[in-house]
């Protein structure tokens, strides 16, 4: 029996809490340092796809998230006028690869927070420095500040889950640069109790994508992903969105028009186009956007973060608690996660290139014609490969 190990998780978003839950399950002592004054989630909704739900099941909160969300399926893609470009066959059978659950991000985050309650959850704690330690030698040292000043904590494992602008990544990989995609994204939840059910079918227009997803019986989440210069404010966000989608289908216009301006968010979209050379350094492992911020065009950022979370427990927490060397466990994590997340990031970039990033005019006409010619069966099968993921079995058994 080895002594109880300690982990410090930097960041209490979806990736950090998922990692905390899986480490607690493996018997570790876990501290989560979150810079915000409360554990909360900014944002609107998201689609938990089959792989994300498999991760949530592995974390023990799948049923809770299913109950908090709305069962739907990927139905295909439309053009901006609402005409089908690709219509996918499929069912909402929970085992089908096209199945998804629309969920409010705060409800997903709340389920993970409840499951992480046994951790030492610290708010107002901004991590400012890290000594990554050595897997079979010196412990890691994390420096953080709060209203009382500077603190340090010595720990067996650091999980860097501090998001797209990760301070930990900046320390470990200062050469890796975040890149602006050229696109920005509005997101909002609107009250809607219509019973129209056709599945999730984003629309591709000129240099833009619009998607709406039911997240409960009375709420619809929508996003509008559009080309826009970085850090460029708009005088009236909702008026700009209404104007941009004014030539789109009546359904799109109606959802945008129903938006409460106070509930409309907009974020510039950045990513790590080349990924990282490794997800582990010293005693530190990187997860979520800190490790693999990807374009949102496959809807896999949060889903891959959930996968990371359960893998931290299965591939690091459980074997190390059973006596395996940390170095081997970190290598196993990197080998399992990096190729998969690179594949997702590349596919997201490819989807953007042939989807939302295609400008209007001839390129759009040609793309639409090509997509209409694609047989639905093989298209669904290609997407299914990524979604048919199951958490690994721990080598500790």
Ligand X SMILES: Cc1cc2nc3c(=O)[nH]c(=O)nc-3n(C[C@H](O)[C@H](O)[C@H](O)COP(=O)(O)OP(=O)(O)OC[C@H]3O[C@@H](n4cnc5c(N)ncnc54)[C@H](O)[C@@H]3O)c2cc1C
Q: Which residues bind ligand X (CB under 6 A)?
A: 10-16, 33-36, 46-47, 125-127, 161-164, 167, 185, 187, 223, 267, 269, 288-290, 296, 299-303, 305
Q: Give the nearer residue to ligand X in terms of CB position, either 28 or 225.
A: 225
DSSP character at residue 391: P
Query: DSSP state, 3?
Result: P
Tell which residue, 336, 285, 25, 341, has the closest CA to residue 156: 285
Residue with tokens 């994390």: 142
**Smallest distance from the beta carbon of 242 to ligand X, in angstroms?**
19
What are the angstrom distances between the C-alpha of 244 and each of 79, 221, 386?
15, 18, 32
Work out the number of other CB atoms within 10 angstroms of the CB of residue 254: 13
Task: State the minimum distance, in angstroms, from the CB of residue 39 to ligand X.
Answer: 8
Q: Which of 58, 48, 14, 49 is nearest to 314 (CA)?
A: 58
Q: How far is the CB of 290 from ligand X (least distance, A)?
A: 6
Nearest approach in angstroms of CB 314 to ligand X is: 18
Extended beta strands in the chain, E state? 6-10, 29-33, 45-49, 70-73, 76-79, 84-87, 99-104, 120-122, 126-131, 140-146, 149-155, 157-160, 179-191, 203-205, 208-216, 219-227, 265-271, 280-281, 284-286
Task: Report the nearest approach of ligand X to the CB of residue 240 (Å).
Answer: 16
Q: CB-wise, 158 or 329, nearer to ligand X?
A: 158
Residue with smaller CB distance to ligand X, 72 or 368: 72
Work out the burial of residue 107: count CB atoms within 10 Å of its CB; fewer than 13 is exposed, 13-18 middle, 19 or more buried. middle
User: Residue 14 phi/psi, 5° resolution?
Assistant: -65, -45
- Per DSSP, the three-state class of 241 is helix
Supply angle C-alpha 353, 297, 68, rounded to 5: 170
Q: Is the CB of 159 or the CB of 321 nearer to ligand X?
A: 159
Tell which residue, 157, 147, 148, 152, has the closest CA to residue 127.
152
Minimum distance from residue 362 beta carbon to ligand X (Å): 28
Q: Which two tokens stand for residue 60?
A: 């023990």
Q: Nearer Cβ to ligand X, position 301 or 317? A: 301
In the complex with ligand X, the residue whose CB is nearer, 127 or 324, is: 127
Would you call 325 helix, strand, or coil by DSSP?
Answer: coil
Q: Which is nearer to ligand X, 282 or 299 (CB)?
A: 299
Assigned token pair, 371: 């997509």
Cβ 297 to ligand X, closest distance in Å?
A: 9
The dihedral over CA atoms of 51, 169, 14, 127, expressed in degrees to the nearest 10, equals 160
Minimal distance in Å, beta carbon 210 to ligand X?
Answer: 12
Residue with Cβ nearer ligand X (81 or 267): 267
Residue 19 vs 315, nearer CB to ligand X: 19
**Smallest separation, CB 49 to ligand X (Å):** 7
């Amino acid at each position: 029996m080895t002594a109880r190990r300690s982990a410090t998780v930097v960041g209490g978003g979806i990736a950090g809490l998922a990692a905390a839950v899986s480490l607690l399950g493996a018997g570790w002592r876990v501290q989560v340092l979150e810079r915000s004054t409360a554990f909360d989630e900014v944002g609107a909704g998201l689609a938990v796809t089959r792989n994300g739900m498999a991760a949530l099941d592995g974390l023990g909160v799948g049923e809770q998230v299913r109950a908090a969300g709305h069962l739907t399926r990927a139905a295909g893609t439309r053009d901006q006028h609402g005409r089908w470009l690709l219509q996918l066959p499929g069912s909402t059978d929970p085992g089908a690869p096209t199945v998804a659950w629309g969920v409010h991000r705060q409800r997903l985050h709340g389920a993970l927070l409840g499951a992480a309650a046994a951790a030492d959850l610290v708010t107002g704690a901004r991590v400012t420095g890290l000594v990554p330690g050595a897997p079979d030698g010196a412990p890691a040292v994390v420096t953080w500040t709060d209203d009382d000043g500077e603190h340090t904590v010595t720990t067996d494992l650091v999980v860097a889950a501090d998001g797209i602008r990760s301070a930990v990544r900046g320390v470990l990989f200062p050469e890796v640069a975040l890149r602006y995609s050229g696109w920005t994204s509005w997101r909002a939840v609107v009250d809607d109790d219509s019973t129209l059910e056709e599945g999730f079918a984003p629309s591709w227009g000129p240099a833009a994508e619009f998607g709406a997803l039911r997240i409960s019986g009375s709420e619809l989440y929508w996003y509008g992903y559009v080309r826009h210069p970085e850090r460029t404010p708009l005088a009236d966000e909702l008026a700009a969105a209404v104007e941009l989608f004014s030539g789109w289908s009546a359904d799109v216009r109606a959802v945008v028009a129903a938006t409460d301006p106070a509930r409309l968010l907009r974020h510039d979209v950045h990513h790590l186009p080349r990924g990282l050379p490794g997800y582990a350094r010293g005693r530190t492992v990187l997860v979520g956007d800190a490790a693999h911020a990807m374009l949102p065009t496959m809807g896999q950022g949060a889903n891959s973060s959930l996968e990371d979370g359960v893998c931290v427990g299965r591939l690091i927490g459980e074997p190390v608690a059973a006596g395996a060397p940390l170095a081997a466990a970190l290598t196993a994590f990197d080998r399992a996660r990096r190729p998969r997340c690179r594949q997702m990031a590349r596919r997201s970039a490819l989807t953007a290139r042939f989807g939302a990033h295609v400008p209007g005019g001839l390129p759009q006409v040609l793309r639409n014609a090509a997509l209409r010619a694609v047989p639905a069966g093989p298209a669904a099968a290609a997407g299914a490969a990524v979604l048919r993921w199951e958490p690994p079995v721990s080598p500790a058994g």
